[in-house]
Amino acid sequence: MKLTGLTELAFAYVIMIGIIGGYVWNLFSKLTDVESRISAVEKNFSKNKYEDE
Amino acid sequence: MPDYKTVSLTLILLGLFGASISILLGFIWVPGIDPTTVQQNSAESYRILFWHVSFAWCSFLSFLMLFVGSILWYLKNDDFGWRLFSTGSDMGLLFGLGVITSGPIWGSVAWGKPWDWGDLRLNSFALLTSVALFLVMSRKSQPDTNQTRDTLSIIGLFGFFLVPITAVATTLYNRRHPPIIIIEGEETGLPDEWLFILTFSFFCFCLLFIGISILNDMVNQLESKIEKYQRAIDRGED
């Protein structure tokens, strides 16, 4: 396949958009995951505290 | 206290929207360049400038953040400094990767080959991105102790010294990479439309940069919080 300058330009833009989009998507899913893990741990901590009392 | 998640999402969406507009304007509004002055088929590829340059400038901002964070951590063991360091290294890697993937694609059209191992700008920038990659990987794989932070912050300082070298590389030793064209001179300078879109694109990238930095910092903070909980559980504390 013979590429023209415009094809490569589009390809470069798609890669740059992909890098940003993928990174932001990854950050949001990580944030959701860590938030749910923290709330589970905190719930567990407060439950243990309540049982001790 | 503001909801940082909403703030970061708003900034990211605004930044992405504006940056997309800059691509569109770059195609339909900005005049092209004379095809006879460039290599065959490469006249249109110059429109990569609007994102490629903004990516590069944002990577320099990231390394500035990394530098300030490294100094603050190394001199004062300041936790805010470490937060700047962590976010700066992540952002440096993100924006650095954008530059060194899009650049060679353009290079393969404009120069006939994607990389030149003799060009100072290309190689110093690749080294800079490698430093960011090293810092990110080390942070993720090493235990988070003061000694690790000291060592990594020294490497972060070293990394920043590559920024001025990279910035003036096209003036000092230029083989392939286009020279600095923003500053108006006899052989440099940009048409008004190009300059406007480039400035607009950089502004939108700054919004994106701030939004992603806030989000990144939130994730780093929460990860360190969960690590503390993990250690407390391991010690059998409540």
Task: Flag whether residue A25 sits within 8 Å of chain B, measured between CB atoms.
Answer: no
ipTM for the complex shown: 0.81
User: Which chain B residues are within 8 Å of A19, Cβ to Cβ?
Assistant: 94, 97-98, 101
Higher pLDDT, A4 or A50: A50
List pLDDT tens digits, range B151-209: 999 999 888 888 888 877 766 666 667 666 655 666 666 677 888 888 999 999 999 99
User: Which chain A residues are within 8 Å of B208, Cβ to Cβ?
Assistant: 20
**For residue B17, is pLDDT > 90?**
yes
* pLDDT (mean) for B50-55: 89
Q: What is the pTM of this model?
A: 0.85
SS (H, E, C) B90-150: HHHHHHHHHHHHHHHHHHHHHCCCCCCCCCHHHHHHHHHHHHHHHHHHHHHHCCCCHHHHH
The verdict on a CB contact (< 8 Å) between B12 and A24 is yes
User: Which chain A residues are within 8 Å of B216, Cβ to Cβ?
Assistant: 27
Separation of alpha carbons B124 and B77, rounded Å: 29
How many CA atoms within 13 Å lie on the side-chain side of B78?
12
> Which pLDDT value is given to residue B29?
82
**For residue B144, is pLDDT > 80?**
yes
Q: Out of B45, B101, B215, whose CB is closest to A9?
A: B45
> Which pLDDT value is given to residue A4?
62
Q: Give the H/E segment covering residue B158.
A: helix B146-172
Cβ under 8 Å to A: B residues 68-127: 94, 97-98, 101-102, 105-106, 108-110
- Per-residue pLDDT band for B41 (boundaries 50, 70, 90) equals low
- Other Cβ atoms less than 10 A from the Cβ of B158: the count is 11
Conformational region of residue B77, where left means phi above 0, alpha means psi within -120 to 50, and beta covers everything else: left
User: Which chain A residues are within 8 Å of B226, Cβ to Cβ?
Assistant: 34, 37-38, 41
> Which pLDDT value is given to residue B232?
81
Give the CA distances from residue B230 to residues A28, B16, B29, B58, B206, in Å, rounded to whole numbers and listed in that order: 22, 36, 55, 35, 36
Separation of alpha carbons B15 and B23, rounded Å: 12
* pLDDT (mean) for B12-35: 84
> Which pLDDT value is given to residue A1?
47
- DSSP code, position B30: S
Q: What integer best gives the mean pLDDT of chain B?
A: 84
* pLDDT (mean) for B219-228: 89
**For residue B210, is pLDDT > 70?**
yes
* pLDDT (mean) for A8-17: 85
- Other Cβ atoms less than 10 A from the Cβ of B101: the count is 17
Contacts for B122 with CB less than 8 Å, ≥ 6 apart: B103, B115, B116, B176, B177
**For residue B43, is pLDDT > 70?**
no
Higher pLDDT, B166 or A52: B166
Question: In sequence order, what DSSP letters do the residues of B68-94 get, joined into one string?
Answer: HHHHHHHHH--HHHHHHHHHHHHHHHH
